[in-house]
Every structure is written in structure tokens, then in C-alpha cells.
Structure 1
Amino acid sequence: MPRTPTITQHTTRTARIEHRWPAVFALVVALVLYGALPNDLITVQRYVTVAIGIVLLIPLIAINPHHMSRQTRWSRTLSLALAIVIVLSNQITIVSLLLLLVGGSEEGPSLLQSALQVWVANVIGFALLYWEIDRGGPVIRTMAKRSDLPKADFRFPQDEDDDAIDEVSAGSSGTSDWTASYVDYFYFSLSNSMAFSPTDAMPLTSRAKLLMSLESFGGFVILALVIARAVSLIG
């Protein structure tokens, strides 16, 4: 496993340091949606997941309260653990939801609402995980020299726009030192979950392809069963 760099101060990079709060807001939304699921879907698991999320988030905000400018080994470990907990918990919840949908539970409207909550939380969770693994994470991506960055997991359009017309190349990675933020990964996760395939960004590594496959499959199964359940309720 590659050594995790310790970042504590600014370098000579011109990339804009990322704000902490978009990712925090998205995570809070996911935890609220998760905690608001019906009791018959998941019981103890949802409270454990929400509690773990809050406990891990507090020290991460403390080390980077406004901008993602500092990283240590323990903060990197906590960040990855938080994203993994959200994604894994949501996969378990998806399985529980599918069992209830297939089993013909009488709580039809409640299950359809729960499906939407689980789907949105899944999009947010995978966006967090993509955000954390790509090129060493949000701190390394903007603080370390590009020559020192870990291998990229995703290729964005801005990574190859430097030879386009001036107004396009002005925002490219090669010209402006652009780097992806949480919003970019959220859009990528959302479009992957809706289109069941890459849209603007392309996976480059095996782990990225496997994660995208898992997200797409989960989104497809939820959509297919929700449509079938909705049709049965209308009928």
C-alpha cells in the first residue's frame, strides 16, 4: 500500500483549495435520510451508522474547519472510513429494501419513499468515496505537486481540454491547474446512478470500475423494482 503523504501547509500549486462544507452538507443530508427510514426497513443499523458518521465527522471538521488544507495519516484514515461506512451501510439497506419490495409488503407508499431516500443516500455515499480515493483525496489533489500525485482513478473533461479553444482551455487542468471538487464527484455519481454508465468522467482503474458497477447495479435494481411496485399499486 502506498505511503500516505502528510500535508500541513500550502505548496506552490495554483489549484484552488477545496471548501470543506459542500461535502459536509451532503453527508449530513445522507445521515438524515438514513436516520429517517422506517423502523421496519432497518432498526439498530441506522442508529449505529448515524452515530459512527457523526463521531468520525467531528474530528475531520476540527482539522479542516473551512478548507481542505491539512492532512495527517489519522485524518486520512478517518476520511476513508467514513465514506466506506456510508457506502457499506447503504448496500445492506438496499438489500433489505429489495427484500421488502419483492416480498409484497403492504406498506407500498412508505416503501417507495424509502427507496428514494436510499437512492439519494447511495449517490451521496459513492460521491464521497470517489472524492476520497481519486488521486490521493481532496487535500493531496490540490496541495501536492502534480508529479507527486497518486495514480488517477477518474479522467475528467478538464484533464484533456488544454488544446481546445481559448475560452474552454482556460479552465483546463493543464492551463489553470484545475482539479475536481466534491461537486464534480457528486454530479459524476448522480449521472452514473441515473444513466447506469459513465457520462462526463471515465473510470481509469479497476477499483473505480468496480465501484461504479456496484453503484449502477444498485440504482438499476432499485429503479426496476420501484417501477414494478408502483405499477402494482396503481393496478
Structure 2
Amino acid sequence: MTDRDDDVPAWQRKTEGESRIAATLAVLAIVVLQVALPQQLRPQPAWLLPGLEILLLGVLVVANPFRINREERWLRNGGLLLTGLLSLATAVSADRLVFELIHGPLSDNASALLASGGAIWLTNVVVFGLWYWEFDRGGPAARAHARKPLPDFLFVQMQNPELAPPEWEPQFVDYLYLSFTNATAFSPTDVMPMSRWAKLTMMAQSTISLILVILVIARAINVLHSDS
């Protein structure tokens, strides 16, 4: 590494790429939450989407097992397809949860309602974290090769490099944090969206999170009040 490279933040230059472990564990956690949902909230047949997700995840891990730095179109499309399948399963479960809140027997069970709503809300947080991770500056492999200099998300470490380790660059956990804070605060906190797609995606996530929280908690309180 040259002296000139030392003056360039890691997120702006070519690096070895981030470890696959965190993103892989996140996908596995989503699949577990999907399988744990009540039968009436899962897309049918119940095994189809989780099976496809695990299969696709396995292909991606085998093709690029350690560091996400291999730039190939089919790998990029495979990652986006996997995130799309996870999103589809979450969307179907959220839609069925709303139906159950209004018409189904689950709406009369406060504990099951809160547990299912919490699982879907958490799944939604991780899914949006994956979308942010997949699209910021072209995705993890493109970031490893420093393809795009302008960030879609401006992290604190980018604004204050003197407060971060020299080799700091955003990784999946940073995007998961972004997703969680956006879902709880319903607005940006310390990570600023810079591009229009980032702003619209964060707005969509905040809206979905707010609707889920209001509907589930309101119904659960109503059920508890009726039982008392």
C-alpha cells in the first residue's frame, strides 16, 4: 500500500471486501422467523419460499464463500433475487397478519398476536437492511472495488474519519443498524440518505413499520381490555 493509499479512507478505495458471515446469518435468521410463524401467516405451500431461499443462499455461499468481492452479473442477480424472495415472504405474511387482525382467530389471542407481529416486524427490519446493503454504491462487491465514489448513505465515520479506524468501511451490520433505527424512530438518525432511491426506500420502510406497530399494538390492547 502506498502513502497515497493511506490518505484515502477505506470506503473510497479498493479493499479485500467484507466477510460473508453477518449477511448469511441474517438471511438464516429471517428463514427461521418465517418458519416459526403460525401456519395462517405463512405463504403456501409453507416449504416453498424457505426452501428456495436456503437453496439460493447455498449457491451464493459456495460461489463466493469468504469475502464478498467477486463481481459477476449472475452473483449480483442472485443476491438481489434472494433479497426479493425474502421480501415477498415478508410482504405476504404482513398482508395475512392484517387480515387476521380483522377477520381471523389470531386477532383474539393477544400473546400470539404480539409474538407474530413482532416476528414480522423484525423480519421486515432485516430485509430492509439487506436492501440497503445490496444497493448502496452498487452493492458489497462494487464497494470492495470502489466502483462508485458517491455514497447513497452517509455514515458518521465518513464525515469524521479521524474518529474511525483507518480501515473502516460500511458493512452489513451498519446497514442493519440503519434499518433498525429507521423502523423505530421513523426518520433518519445518524445515517443520512443521500440519493433519492435511499430516501424513498427509507420512507417506505418507516410507513410499513408504523402501520404494523399501530395495528398490532392497538388490537392487542383491545383484546386484553376485553378479557379484563
**Fold shared, TM-score > 0.5 on shorter chain:** yes
**Contact map agreement 2:109 2:223 (CA 8 A) in 1:** no
1:233 to 2:223 alignment = yes
1:120 corresponds, among 119, 122, 132, to 122
CA RMSD of aligned residues (A): 2.0
**Contact map agreement 2:42 2:92 (CA 8 A) in 1:** no
* Rounded Cα–Cα distance in structure 1 between residues aligned with 2:89 and 2:201: 15
Matched to 1:55, the amino acid is L
Equivalent position of 1:152 in the other structure: 151
Equivalent position of 1:187 in the other structure: 177
1:220 to 2:219 alignment = no
**Structure 2 CA distance for partners of 1:103 and 1:26, relative to 1, 3 Å:** same
- Offset from partner CA, 1:29-59 (integer Å, 9 cap, x none): 1011011111122341643221221121111
TM-score relative to the length of structure 2 = 0.85
Structural mapping, 1:103-118, within 5 Å: 103=103, 105-118=107-120
**Contact map agreement 1:15 1:178 (CA 8 A) in 2:** no
Matched to 1:47, the amino acid is W
* Rounded Cα–Cα distance in structure 1 between residues aligned with 2:152 and 2:87: 18
1:201 to 2:200 alignment = no
Equivalent position of 1:132 in the other structure: 134
Task: Indicate the SS of the match to 2:68.
Answer: coil
* Rounded Cα–Cα distance in structure 1 between residues aligned with 2:45 and 2:197: 26
TM-score relative to the length of structure 1 = 0.83
1:61 to 2:51 alignment = no
Matched to 1:159, the amino acid is M
**Structure 2 CA distance for partners of 1:84 and 1:150, relative to 1, 3 Å:** farther
* Rounded Cα–Cα distance in structure 2 between residues aligned with 1:85 and 1:151: 29
C-alpha deviation, 1:107, in angstroms: 3.5
C-alpha deviation, 1:233, in angstroms: 2.3
Structure with more of its chain in helix, by fraction: 2
Aligned residues: 212
* Rounded Cα–Cα distance in structure 1 between residues aligned with 2:45 and 2:149: 34
* Rounded Cα–Cα distance in structure 1 between residues aligned with 2:46 and 2:111: 20
Task: Indicate the SS of the match to 2:38.
Answer: coil
C-alpha deviation, 1:204, in angstroms: 1.6
* Rounded Cα–Cα distance in structure 1 between residues aligned with 2:77 and 2:26: 20
Matched to 2:125, the amino acid is V
* Rounded Cα–Cα distance in structure 2 between residues aligned with 1:151 and 1:83: 24
* Rounded Cα–Cα distance in structure 1 between residues aligned with 2:46 and 2:150: 34
* Rounded Cα–Cα distance in structure 2 between residues aligned with 1:19 and 1:181: 9
C-alpha deviation, 1:13, in angstroms: 4.2
Matched to 1:192, the amino acid is N
**Contact map agreement 1:155 1:204 (CA 8 A) in 2:** yes
Q: Which ranges of 4 or more aligned residues in structure 1 deviate by more than 6 Å?
A: none
